[in-house]
Structure 1
Amino acid sequence: MPKPNKNEKSRELDDDYEVVSFEEFCDKPSNAKTDLLSLNDNINYRIYYESLKLPKDGSSSNIEEAFDREIEGQKETSLNGPKGGVYTKYQRFSQRRTTLQRAWEQLKNICPGMLGVGLMCVLCVAVWLVVGGTLGGAWTEDKYRKLWQRVHPENTERPMTYYEMVVPEVHYHDHNNLSTKNKFNGSEGSRKTPLDDEKYQRLMRPKPIQVPTEAPETAKYLKRTPEMLRNMCSNVTDNMRFDCYPQTGANEEACLKRGCCWKSTSIQGAPYCFYPPNYDTYKFYNMTENKRGVTAYYALNRPSGYPGDFRMVRVDIMFVTGDIINAKISDAENPRFEAQYPEIPMVYGSIKTMKYKMVLESSSIGFKVVRLSDNVTVFNTQNIGGLILSDKFLQISSLLPTNQIYGLGERRARFRTVLNEWKTFTMFNSDQAPVENTNLYGTQPFYLALEPDGKAHGTLLLNSHAIDVVLQPTPAITYRTIGGLFNFYMFLGPSPGDVVSQLTEIIGKPFMPPYWALGFHLCKYNYGSLQVTRDVWKSNRDAGIPLDVQWNDLDYMKNGNDFTYDDVKFKGLPEFVKELHEAGMHYMVLFDPGVSAAEKAGTYPPFDKGLEMNVFIKNSTGQPFVGKVWNKVSTVWPDFTHPNATMYWTQMMSNFHKKIPYDGAWIDMNEPSNFVSGSLYGECAPEELPYTPHYLTNGLKHKTLCMDAHHYAGDHYNWHNLYGLTEAIATHFALVEIRGSRPFIISRASFPGLGRYAGHWSGDVDSSWHDLRMSIPELLSFSLFGIPMMGADICGFRGNTTVELCKRWMQLGAFYPFSRNHNSDSSIPQDPVSLGAEVVSSSRTALRMRYSLLPYYYTLFWRAHLHGELVARPLYFEAYFPAGYWYSLDGTLLTSGWRNVTEQHMLAVKNDTMMCDIRVVASCLYKSRQRAWCQRVSVARALYMCWPHLTAAQARAILYWDDGLGLQTYDESKYSLVHFILDKQEFRSELQWWAYGMPTVNKITIFGQKVPIKNVTINQKPCKKPNCEFSYSSNSKIFVIFNINLRLNEPIHIQWMLQEKLKLTELYLIKALTIYIYNNHHQLTIHLH
């Protein structure tokens, strides 16, 4: 540490003069000869060195000269002296001066005369007291002990109390430094410390008890005969069975030993071994309350049958907002790993209106949450199943008020899950192509429950370990996990949209995409060369396919190594990217997290720099953990929890961006995936799980890293499911630093909160009709998870597509929020041009319609970013379809009435027809003019609006507009916002904010107008050529006002008169649209709101 500036008289004593910081001083023995900087001086001293941009170790050869140049101008008011006094900054005294000399010099600078003498007397008394205290031994032991404890809190044996919250060791968190999150450097088991009886008695105050090895109630259960247990369990119905022995090898003897019921059943999935009523694993101990929540403690009452039972359990209930409640169940004695992402916002202030009540009673185990408006219990764990809390197995069950839920991903299944049978889902991020009945790329332990009366609520479990969710027809849900703690968030709704909005208040609102990302994307694994990439891009562009983003997969890299490109096969890639940019288009590249570990030293900076910065995940010996992915020989993985990792990742991406100016990042293989199960060299430590999650029979290390691989912030056992999210956070930060505009990231792995930083695609789907259909529930599920930028690989990834399949998939995929055609290296080319004229024609029509809707999509994403609303919405969010005229978006009348449509109802259409009905609720659809081949062209086109009629008095819509790139355009008020209102026979606009230009409105179409129009006025002026025209079709009932070119920065007021007296008409306004695609017996539906 460099020395502060001293007087010239004391310069000769530099050799024996040492100045240290407060922290360094506390680390030294009490007899060390050291001059301690005051806390204020220490802070100013650090700030001063940083302002000079000099190293704190004083290594600069010009440091003394720098101080000589700057010291005279650096004056500041001392916080320790009179308000009028000033000291030379960092001026210190030599050791040769006495205390009186020092005091006199200080007093000369403060004030002369009697005031100075008086202060000197006070200072002398203070010095005498300090010296006396030191000689008396007060400082030599107690003071230094306190100082040492302050600097080393992790080594201080602090008294524990059941009224203090157990917090992670690291309290401070820097948003861009993942290392400051929950730094656990050991396994779950190693965190437990023995608890002797004396300490346990102290923890029990003011009501001391001692938990015996075997609680009395446990002995009673164990002494009961099988016959007694059968009588006790006879009243448990089949639907109320909660599995007491979920491991393999269940038998009657083992079941009875746990004090559980054993009875066979013919119901598939129902357990033979189940809990008796009121299975009391724990007993209530005490409880405290405050305005923001309740804290309760439970003492262990019986052994669970799993090693490492929590002897004392803490339940924290926090009232987050009036419609969000948090329940955390943890070990009261030992810190547990807690998922530190997503970042949960702090809540301040009082809650004015509570929409729920929380019931926690001493007579039962657990709690329940009740919605006040209808007295519905949305979550009830009181004496339900068995509450099991142990080191590597935790289980809790809850009754549900409905048998219909949505969510719980990532998995391949129908969108709605009906609780009519026993089902088990596993959540553990895995490199697994989408198929039914297995865990996939992401972990999303959130469900939305739709109640019989249409109200909804939701529950999120924040736990980063492998999770099993068991659903049963009670209806009930059981959570099982292999580590950490239970951290639940319940969302009271009451509408489905409210639930998702409340969810994103906790996990973060979705990111605002750049406008160009809403265009069509084109990619293929193994184009093989730049020439093929260019030919595919040019041929589709020449065919009139609207296209905004060209991608390259892994094959652009040299030897599959990140941050390189093949300068032979892809020679000229920088020039090609420049050509894309000049055409108003964009370029995306793939980044795998795995870095090659076998390159020659000095030839591959990503590996060399990673070693230098110490950022790779370690094995049990402290060396970089080595596996194998796409790199030729071996792979290491960056540890995104390391304090240097974000800097490292940003530097690598920045260096590559200087070569290839890419516009966004595709982060793949980040579960993380590993081609070997565990380490390439050596063996993984035994996992020793008392319970293996349902689909993980090959072990946790299957196709990934060893669970004992070590991150800076803890073992991979704890961080596995968070790896993809931490990479997305680092990538998001890097792109902001590199490009200075909105990042666009697509990630394969996911965890709650990913939508704040990145989008997602559904992975390696098959080229099949089944996978086309299943892409819809996958899309809608991720909408519920707060990740609206989502889509599937159009036409499929694995296997060869067909002309008919790809044509229909392009028609569907044109309306995915994330719309990309992509397939594997072993499949035939499937871009529209490669499959022929039929696919080109249908793709062009569908994509032109998409591009005409981009202003609408953009506003929906803004609403999602601001309010947590959905972009792609399931039908039940807006049910029901009303009676009236339905139209296709091209203006064709679909039906003149309405009818009940069943699942078997077939509607004959032309072979090449894509049918889109206009969803009829109060809003409007604004479109840009068609025939734009990229979004830059479509942005420049005029808008036109579609307004179907509805029997409501008034309808409203909004349009948001900005530059499409800025990082904080809304926060910095660099946007425009206009409201539109349709009220009977008039249309008007209301300007809310104007700071960025909008396209003009050229055309307004009103569907379902039964009565002909007599005349039209715009802003009190008659509609006449050439500035305005209108038309009406009595066959289609469509009324059009066109060639108006109205500016939106001024109010618009349009009125019309009818040719005959207005009868009761139907005014329909678009709020969402439903796209139907028919092919023989295949009927597929996507609902876009």
Structure 2
Amino acid sequence: MWRRVLHLHLVFLILLSSSLGVDRGNFKACHQSSFCKRCRAVEPDKSVYVLHLNTLKIEDSVMSAEIQNTQNLVKFKFELFSLSDATFRMKINELSPLKPRYEVEHVLVGEPQLERLEVKERAAEYIIVSSGNIKAKIYGTPFRVDFYHGDSLAVTANAKGLMKFEHIRIKPESKDDGSEQPDNQVNDDTASDPGAWEENFKSHHDSKPNGPTAVALDFTFAGAHYAYGIPLHADSFALKSTKNGDPYRLFNLDVFEYELNNPMALYGSIPMLVAHGPSITSGVFWLNAAETWVDIEGTHDQNVMSSIVNFVSGSVRTPEVNAHFMSESGIIDVFFMLGPEPKNVVQQYAKLTGTTPLPPYFAIGYHQSRWNYNDQDDVRNVDAKFDEYNLPMDVMWLDIEHTDNKKYFTWDSRRFSQPAEMINNLTAKGRKLVAIVDPHVKRDNSYFLHNDAENNDFYIKNKDGKIYEGWCWPGSSSYPDFFNPAVRDYYKTRYLLENYHGSTLDMHIWNDMNEPSVFNGPEVTIPKDVLHFGGWENRDVHNQYGFMYTIATYEGLMARSNGKFRPFILTRAFFAGSQRYTAMWTGDNTADWGHLKISIPMCLSVSVAGYPFCGADVGGFFNNPNSELITRWYQAGAFQPFFRSHSHIDTKRREPWLFDDATLHHIREALNKRYALLPYIYTLFFEHEISGLPVMWPLWLEFPSETAVFAVDDEYLLGDSLLVHPVTSPGATEVTVYHPGVSEIWYDVDTYQKFEGGKHTKIPVTIDKIPVYQRGGKIIPKKERIRRASTLTLNDPFTLYVALNQNKTASGRLYMDDGETFEYKKGAYLYLSLEFAGNKLTSRKIKKEGSFSTKSWLERVVIMGIESGIKSAVVESKGTGKITVNTIYDNNSNVLVVRKPSINMAEEWSILLQ
């Protein structure tokens, strides 16, 4: 009984805290973290690390040497690897550690491809090596490495001399007076730091059995104006200077109703940073899964001030950005992606950690969720209402209340007595179901999952080797150790249809609370000194836990269909590499305008860090949006990669028809815009898989030398063809839109009005206006017959929107397949190049080996920016022969419409305007 009371009390406190906003006292600041304080206290330009050039060896693609700490004489192994695609990898580890240090696994897509290193120059102070068009200049005393692309300096490691590598040592023995006798090898700040060997935070004690093991290194990006990435934070897209505050923190945590515009840690961590300037872009990937803090200095505003000072003093200084990565344990393992263009950096990172496989078509449609739909009748009624009010929807979601007392892989036998029938009813309309499966396991002797975990030794252990117990939604819970391959194999079998009773192939999975969340744990997560498979502390691997969990889920969904159908999984916790398995969302946001606005930079940050499938809870998870806010949020969500409405159990129901008629109409229009664009968005996801380019693009990705766009995070590109500027302020009657590209033309997608690039324009916005612009020179495919679900549109006709540039040309691409299987990897697809030039529109296969049969046909072509005088259009294809069809020209908008060419989209064809 006392456990039940304590459980309810803890849940009450959690819910209370959520209603009051985040309690920052529950989460550490840098000054409360001993390793962060030690790393941050290193003085610049006083490096104690030297690389002994006389120990240097080069074997084909790898350089090795010894580094020594001149203060305590500890030696380290330095390795530099030359990789394909303008990338270097640098590893630094203890030369003779007392015990192995953790090196991150599972993140990289196989072993990176190596390229041969050549020595270009040797001197007493340095050596220069090169590989193709990139080179590294390694200095011995003090240790420093400059990385170049061609003759341009891109990034320097240890430029400020902030490197720190705390070796594993024996704990000093205490003297009779209670003081500690220092180790003879220890001559650093750890001897005087009481937090080096054990540390307290609030009521929690961290035993630190291995003592101080921090690693840190600084990086200087020459010519950079801004840095981006290192998600997840509820902050601006361009990273801010942390000189006068806390560093950005990477430590996966469950943060209720998170605050905006600060560097606090949130649910996911990707230690990937991109630095950009008008002449060069570069990036670093800090491969470390421990708690990490990142200081940023030298943002553009500071560079402007420096330029003024330098001008007055008569000196010239190139702008630069500095980043200082500090991790609690592990090794220094860092990749340098040398661009030089921003697209190169994004693609170089994608080559290392992989891309998102093409999602099933339904996954890019609209998802309807809340915590929780009450029962299967509630699900049925909501599903029916979408049809009644003519609203498209692809997926219904079930949160934790659908289970039998928070026991995952089960159903509440009273409220969800016929789950398979419920799912089949959705499937009959072309829809799907997503159900939640969280990692915490209820400690209940009648629960098969708990019994199996205990009997097979699957749980995470305390530091003393006993099973760790914490509190989460079920009450007393334990946590499977997904670093153990046997645990992942076991979970894989739980998703088989014969084991997950009531599930079908049309039910997909949501992995939530997988930081993991522990209500009574330190910082609402598991202690750092608990033990995982292989004897590794959580301290070493924490940020990977949610990632490892989703690998098991993905493999389970693959196994249940024998690899035929593409899984859809949503995760809250993530790490580098998670993009290969799941979509993500920005977590437990709030129904206010600030959270709507911050969703744009949050998704841009994960996008440049290799994670394209991002969205935010439409309407806000906490509290209740009014009609204006819910309208604007649907309008914004309609153009983000993942589009889901979700809300807290204590909020008012907010299905679209529960608002007034005008709001319902605006939501319907936003949904319709999304569904019309699905062919274009689907094409972007396919191109991401093969190229690594994101779906949401920051403006500088396409316009890298245009300094006016470097700090823009209230608008973005969807692919390279659509400019989106959501309305994110209450009562807005106008927004200021920047149309990038001095020589570009942009067309309003609603009115076809033309705007010149390189200018700010005040755009009037009524409540039904979404400022979206098609780029001149681009072709957008749409399907404009809106059905109840995207899966029903497979054979529907296309409309092509052709926006002409100054040269009266345009191009685009279209990808098609069956929308659900992996047959596209075997060539069952169409990937088409659409070109308009010389008043002729053509469609040709980009990849000739691709083949896919479709009934989809070309219903209409809309051409913007074309001059009058066209009388007809001659259509030619193998199936139609040569026929003439009608055209309609609008003199007011300069738009020509070609009506019903009626060409099968699988054919190669042309349309000549005459």
Shorter-chain TM-score category? 0.7 to 0.9
Aligned to 1:520: 366
Residue 358 (structure 1) aligned with residue 136 (structure 2) = yes
Residue type of the alignment partner of 1:746 = L
Shift of 1:519: 0.9
Shift of 1:495: 1.9
Residue type of the alignment partner of 1:671 = E
Cα gap change, 1:524 to 1:1029, in 2 (>3 Å):
same
CA distance, structure 2, for counterparts of residue 383 and residue 287 of structure 1: 23
- Write the deviation string for residues 849-870 of structure 1: whole angstroms up to 9, x where unpaired: 1111111111110111111111
Aligned to 2:542: 720
Aligned to 1:893: 752
Aligned to 1:915: 771
Cα gap change, 1:1018 to 1:351, in 2 (>3 Å):
farther
- Write the deviation string for residues 56-87 of structure 1: whole angstroms up to 9, x where unpaired: xxxxxxxxxxxxxxxxxxxxxxxxxxxxxxxx
Residue 277 (structure 1) aligned with residue 134 (structure 2) = no
CA distance, structure 1, for counterparts of residue 900 and residue 655 of structure 2: 37
CA distance, structure 2, for counterparts of residue 636 and residue 1052 of structure 1: 61
Aligned to 2:404: 558
Which fold has the larger relative contact order, with Cα–Cα distance below 8 Å and residues 6 or more apart in sequence?
2
Shift of 1:362: 2.7
Residue 620 (structure 1) aligned with residue 620 (structure 2) = no
Cα gap change, 1:896 to 1:1023, in 2 (>3 Å):
farther
For 2:674, what is the secondary structure of its paired residue?
helix
Aligned to 1:606: 449
For 1:464, what is the secondary structure of its paired residue?
coil
Gaps of at least 5 residues in structure 1 are 1-245, 261-270, 304-309, 678-700, 1058-1089
State which drifts further: 735-744 or 281-290. 281-290
Instruction: Decide which of 889, 894, 903 is 1:1046's aligned counterpart.
Output: 903
Cα gap change, 1:477 to 1:247, in 2 (>3 Å):
same
CA distance, structure 2, for counterparts of residue 806 and residue 1055 of structure 1: 45
Residue 1005 (structure 1) aligned with residue 851 (structure 2) = no
CA distance, structure 2, for counterparts of residue 465 and residue 1020 of structure 1: 59
What are the within-5 Å matches in structure 2 for residues 469-508 of structure 1? 469-473=294-298, 475-508=321-354
TM-score, normalised to structure 2, is 0.78
Contact 2:861/2:899 (8 A) holds in 1: yes
Cα gap change, 1:844 to 1:276, in 2 (>3 Å):
closer
Contact 1:762/1:791 (8 A) holds in 2: yes
- Write the deviation string for residues 132-177 of structure 1: whole angstroms up to 9, x where unpaired: xxxxxxxxxxxxxxxxxxxxxxxxxxxxxxxxxxxxxxxxxxxxxx
- Write the deviation string for residues 433-457 of structure 1: whole angstroms up to 9, x where unpaired: 332331100111111111133x311
Residue 878 (structure 1) aligned with residue 878 (structure 2) = no
What are the within-5 Å matches in structure 2 for residues 109-128 of structure 1? none
Instruction: Decide which of 317, 338, 341 is 2:106's aligned counterpart.
Output: 341
For 1:1045, what is the secondary structure of its paired residue?
coil
For 1:506, what is the secondary structure of its paired residue?
helix
CA distance, structure 1, for counterparts of residue 669 and residue 878 of structure 2: 37
Aligned to 2:518: 674
For 2:347, what is the secondary structure of its paired residue?
helix
CA distance, structure 1, for counterparts of residue 160 and residue 799 of structure 2: 59
Aligned to 2:558: 736
CA distance, structure 2, for counterparts of residue 249 and residue 491 of structure 1: 30
State which drifts further: 948-957 or 761-770. 948-957
Cα gap change, 1:362 to 1:412, in 2 (>3 Å):
same
Aligned to 1:866: 690
Shift of 1:1052: 0.8
CA distance, structure 2, for counterparts of residue 496 and residue 856 of structure 1: 23
- Write the deviation string for residues 203-238 of structure 1: whole angstroms up to 9, x where unpaired: xxxxxxxxxxxxxxxxxxxxxxxxxxxxxxxxxxxx
Cα gap change, 1:912 to 1:829, in 2 (>3 Å):
same
State which drifts further: 855-864 or 338-347. 338-347
Contact 1:848/1:930 (8 A) holds in 2: no
For 1:966, what is the secondary structure of its paired residue?
coil
Aligned to 1:748: 572
Instruction: Decide which of 524, 539, 556 is 1:703's aligned counterpart.
Output: 524
Shift of 1:919: 2.3
Residue type of the alignment partner of 1:1001 = L
Aligned to 1:786: 610
Aligned to 2:317: none
Aligned to 1:949: 804
What are the within-5 Å matches in structure 2 for residues 838-849 of structure 1? 838-849=662-673
CA distance, structure 2, for counterparts of residue 776 and residue 850 of structure 1: 17
Aligned to 2:838: 984
Shift of 1:913: 2.3
Contact 1:668/1:747 (8 A) holds in 2: yes
Residue type of the alignment partner of 2:749 = L
For 2:501, what is the secondary structure of its paired residue?
helix
For 1:501, what is the secondary structure of its paired residue?
helix
Shift of 1:1036: 0.6
Residue 320 (structure 1) aligned with residue 141 (structure 2) = no
CA distance, structure 1, for counterparts of residue 367 and residue 456 of structure 2: 36
Instruction: Decide which of 644, 663, 679 is 2:507's aligned counterpart.
Output: 663
Contact 1:1015/1:1023 (8 A) holds in 2: no
Higher strand share: 2
CA distance, structure 2, for counterparts of residue 562 and residue 731 of structure 1: 13
Residue 329 (structure 1) aligned with residue 92 (structure 2) = yes
Aligned to 2:587: 763
Shift of 1:1050: 2.5
Residue type of the alignment partner of 1:659 = G
CA distance, structure 2, for counterparts of residue 1009 and residue 395 of structure 1: 58
CA distance, structure 2, for counterparts of residue 413 and residue 249 of structure 1: 22
Contact 1:859/1:960 (8 A) holds in 2: yes
Instruction: Decide which of 774, 781, 786 is 1:926's aligned counterpart.
Output: 781
Shift of 1:403: 3.5
Shift of 1:883: 5.4
Residue type of the alignment partner of 1:497 = K
CA distance, structure 2, for counterparts of residue 793 and residue 420 of structure 1: 29
Instruction: Decide which of 964, 969, 976 is 2:819's aligned counterpart.
Output: 964
- Write the deviation string for residues 949-997 of structure 1: whole angstroms up to 9, x where unpaired: 1124754322221111222x33311212222211121111113344212
Aligned to 2:265: 439
Contact 1:613/1:644 (8 A) holds in 2: no
Q: Paired residues, what number? A: 753
CA distance, structure 2, for counterparts of residue 919 and residue 855 of structure 1: 17
Cα gap change, 1:1045 to 1:823, in 2 (>3 Å):
same
Cα gap change, 1:349 to 1:382, in 2 (>3 Å):
closer
Aligned Cα RMSD in Å? 2.6
- Write the deviation string for residues 1024-1053 of structure 1: whole angstroms up to 9, x where unpaired: 999732111111100111111101333212
- Write the deviation string for residues 26-60 of structure 1: whole angstroms up to 9, x where unpaired: xxxxxxxxxxxxxxxxxxxxxxxxxxxxxxxxxxx
Instruction: Decide which of 110, 129, 152 is 1:375's aligned counterpart.
Output: 152
CA distance, structure 2, for counterparts of residue 898 and residue 995 of structure 1: 39
Aligned to 1:1078: none
Gaps of at least 5 residues in structure 2 are 1-29, 118-130, 169-212, 299-319, 704-739
Cα gap change, 1:822 to 1:1020, in 2 (>3 Å):
closer
Aligned to 1:939: 794
Residue type of the alignment partner of 1:369 = F
Instruction: Decide which of 459, 462, 483 is 2:284's aligned counterpart.
Output: 459
Residue type of the alignment partner of 2:775 = R
Aligned to 1:171: none
CA distance, structure 1, for counterparts of residue 77 and residue 83 of structure 2: 18
CA distance, structure 2, for counterparts of residue 467 and residue 618 of structure 1: 23
For 1:657, what is the secondary structure of its paired residue?
coil
CA distance, structure 1, for counterparts of residue 115 and residue 49 of structure 2: 36
CA distance, structure 2, for counterparts of residue 560 and residue 420 of structure 1: 41
- Write the deviation string for residues 725-773 of structure 1: whole angstroms up to 9, x where unpaired: 0011110000001134111111000100000011101110000000000
Aligned to 2:274: 448
State which drifts further: 531-540 or 318-327. 531-540
For 1:959, what is the secondary structure of its paired residue?
strand
- Write the deviation string for residues 759-798 of structure 1: whole angstroms up to 9, x where unpaired: 1011100000000000001111111122111100001101
CA distance, structure 2, for counterparts of residue 577 and residue 977 of structure 1: 33
For 1:1044, what is the secondary structure of its paired residue?
coil
Shift of 1:336: 1.3
Contact 1:944/1:1005 (8 A) holds in 2: yes
State which drifts further: 463-472 or 561-570. 561-570
